[in-house]
Structure 1
């Protein structure tokens, strides 16, 4: 009997984690379409009883905070999995972009709340910002960025491109990442100047 108790506990924990994830994913879909949606609408989309949602999340605000926390963890994992400190800069730039776009497209509502959610989310975003600074410095050293380009300016342009690309939600993250990195590195102009 003692051997089945830990197994049963793990199974129950796994079921609870699946239920929470199902609710979070449904909440993302529903709130992306209607930010004023009720907990009952979210429960219906998740295929669970309203009481199940309330048992897991005390309030709508608690649910949104959990979504933001979930998305923030996915965001950090997306950057980590690209190994931006050790992968060649151009490869890392592409992989970080593709991974981050997947999270931002799939968790757009939650990501829009993540920066203001709590100190942990702000800390994660600040850490990722510092890693991006280092990646852009490595890219400049490797000749991926021109010698006369300010890496901080390039980083700001990169963030804007990611934001706009994620808002469009019009394609595969790998294709979008390739287009975004190409636009960042080669631009959209012909090279003509005002002189």
Structure 2
């Protein structure tokens, strides 16, 4: 039994190494072959193929890993138990941290998934209940939110909209989160008479 447990532990460690390497390699070279990922993980190509029979299986695992991180971002931000405006700001910071640290996985199809979208809808509902959001079409509010995340993420660090933060650091993440939050609440919030 001990040998089986050790094999399982080795397999789990190898899978984690492969996923870490894939995130790094594919962020710089999206079309990189599995052999390059195996080299970066310090494993043989056969080991990578045992864990992920196809490139599609590897991409699916990366998407699931990112989905877990989005779920954790909601928990970290206390998005469903805190004052909704503050929760939105903290959630935005966590999402921009993820976007910077997981450049390749961000573009994977299916991310964010249904559970994360459901939690986003709940947060938008809470913002609506607090009067910070007055737009009533849930799907439209979600679409605006997700599109705005991509637009703010795509801004160069030198954009005047970000106020010239130090590129790549926590100041940039906070500046992006503040711009996103301010713009979203301005777009979906109370209308002036």
Counterpart secondary structure, 1:85: coil
Cα distance between partner residues in 2 of 1:23 and 1:29? 10
2:60 matches 1:73: no
Q: Could you list the runs of 4 or more consecutive aligned residues of structure 1 that deviate by over 6 angstroms after TM superposition?
A: none
Aligned-partner SS, 1:20 = helix
Aligned to 2:20: 25
Provide the aligned length of Structure 1 versus Structure 2.
175
Cross-structure match for 1:192: none
2:51 to 56, 78, 84: 56
1:163 aligns with 2:155: no
Corresponding residue for 2:29?
34
Deviation at 1:130, TM superposition (A): 2.6
Q: Does the aligned pair in 1 maintain the 2:73–2:94 contact within 8 Å? A: yes
SS at match of 1:97: helix
Q: Select 1:143's aligned residue among 126, 131, 134.
A: 131
* Residues 88/60 of structure 1: CA separation in 2 closer, same or farther (3 Å cut): same
Q: CA deviation at 1:39?
A: 0.9
Under a length normalisation based on structure 1, what TM-score does the superposition of the two structures give?
Answer: 0.73
Match of 1:178?
178
Which consecutive residues of structure 1, in runs of 5 or more, have no partner in the other structure? 116-120, 188-195
Q: Displacement of 1:13 after TM fit?
A: 4.1
Contact 1:72 1:114 in 2 (8 A): no
Offset from partner CA, 1:25-55 (integer Å, 9 cap, x none): 2112222222221111111222222222122
Equivalent-residue separation in structure 2 for 1:102 and 1:135 (angstroms): 19
Please give the per-residue CA displacement for 1:99-139, whole angstroms capped at 9, x wherever unaligned.
22233333332342241xxxxx7xx7223223222212221
Secondary structure at 2:107 match in 1: helix
Segments of 5+ residues of structure 2 without an aligned counterpart are 158-167, 188-193
